[in-house]
Amino acid sequence: MAYEVRGVIARGKGQAVSVESVLVPDPGPGEAVVTVQACGVCHTDLHYREGGINDDFPFLLGHEAAGVVEAVGEGVTGLAPGDYVILNWRAVCGQCRACLRGRPWYCFDTHNATQKMTLGDGTELSPALGIGAFADKTLVAAGQCTKVDPAASPAVAGLLGCGVMAGLGAAINTGGVTRGDSVAVIGCGGVGGAAVLGASLAGAAKIIAVDIDDRKLEWARGFGATHTVNSRTTDPVEAIRELTGGVGADVVIEAVGRPETYQQAFYARDLAGTVVLVGVPTPDMTLELPLLDVFGRGGALKSSWYGDCLPSRDFPMLIDLYLQGRLDLGGFVTETIPLDQVEQAFTKMHHGEVLRSVVVF
C-alpha cells in the first residue's frame, strides 16, 4: 500500500516550486522507505529547478537529509525499520571497475530505487540525486541509507548528505590536507566553509579564506580560517602569495566553479601544490590555461565529486567528531523552516543570506 505524503515539486524550468501530494510505494527488493526528519536546502536543488541538471521534469526536490527507516524491501540486510540514517547519493555497487580496484568513492554504477514515486494522477517523478527528500517520506535504494548515532540532530546530520561533506572531503580526502599545510579556499559559502573546517580539522597551519562577501569571510573565521581576503578589493593571488612567503599555498580549494576563480586557484598554489575543484561549473563554461604553465608548475589538478567520500566510512566518523564537540557542523545551520518555505529559502541562498536553510518535519 502506497504512502501519501507531501513533497516539494519543480514542474518546469524556472517555475516556483509547490507542495503537492506524492505517492510513495512500498519498498521493493533492495529498497527502503525513510521517514524524513530534516533536509537541507542545497544549491543543487536550485540547479534542478532551473533545468541546470537535466530536463526530466517534474522533479521531487531535496537530497541533503536524515531520518528514520520506515520499511525495507526483500533482500535488504544490515538495515531495519527504526534505524537512524543519513541519505547519500553514492550507494556504491561493489562490482564496477572502481569498486573492484578498491576505490569505491569513484563507483561508476551507484544504486537508486527502481520503483518510481508519483503524483496523485500517476505522473512519475524524478527524485533529486535519486533521493527526493523534501517529502515526509521517500523511497531510496537501501545502500543510500547510512546508519549513524541517533544522538545527532537530524537538522545537523543531514548536511553530511551533500554540501558539507563535499567541502570537508575536498580538504581531507581529495586535497590530502595534513598537519602544517597552508590552504586557501576560494568561495566561502556552505561548501567552501566546510572546506575551511576540514582543513582546520586536518591540522593546517594557515587557512586563507577568499570571498567577495565579508559576511561569508566572517563565517569562515568561525570555521577556522586564520586569514581572510576580500577578492572584490584585493587581488587574491597576490594576497595568498604574500601570506605564504611568496610561494603560494600547498592546497588551494576552488569552491565557486567558475573559470576565473579556477585560474586564481591555479596561480595561487605552490609549484608542487594541489588545486581541488569542488565548485560545480555549468555546461557552457570553458577553461583556458597556457599548457606550458600546466606543465611547468607540476603538482596536481584534481576535481572532487561529493568530497571523494565513502558514506559508510565517513558519515559515522564525522558524526562522532560532531558529538564529541570537535566538528562544528551546527555552525552551518542558519535557520530551520517548514516544508512550504523552500521557495523563499532558494531566494535567501541565491542572495548569500544563509549558509543553510534546513527543512524540519
Which residue from 52, 43, 62 is spatially nearest to 125, judged by alpha carbons? 62
Residue 298: the pLDDT is 87
Residue 119: the pLDDT is 97
- Find residue 21's DSSP bridge partners: 6
| Assigned C-alpha cell, 192 | 567552501
CB of 32 closer than 8 Å to CB of 146 = no
Instruction: Kindly list the distances between the CA atom of residue 56 and the CA atoms of 12, 52, 132, 156, 231, in Å, as whole numbers in the listed order.
Output: 9, 11, 13, 30, 37
pLDDT tens by residue, 58-107: 999 999 999 999 999 999 999 999 999 999 998 999 999 999 999 999 99
Largest CA distance in the chain: 66
Instruction: Kindly list the distances between the CA atom of residue 29 and the CA atoms of 72, 113, 115, 116, in Å, as whole numbers in the listed order.
Output: 8, 9, 10, 13
pLDDT tens by residue, 263-276: 999 999 999 999 99
Residue 189: the pLDDT is 94
Residue 348: its H or E element = helix 342-350
Instruction: Output DSSP code: residue 129.
Output: G
| Assigned C-alpha cell, 169 | 572531503
For residue 198, how many other CB atoms are within 10 A of its CB?
Answer: 32
pLDDT tens by residue, 281-308: 988 999 999 999 999 988 999 999 999 9
- Find residue 40's DSSP bridge partners: 64, 358
Instruction: Output DSSP code: residue 170.
Output: I
∠ at Cα 191 (211, 332), nearest 5°? 100
Phi, psi of 162 (to 5 degrees): -155, -90
What's the mean pLDDT in 206-225? 97
pLDDT of 190 > 90? The answer is: yes
| Residue owning grid cell 576565473 | 260
Instruction: Output DSSP code: residue 2.
Output: P
What's the mean pLDDT in 116-132? 97
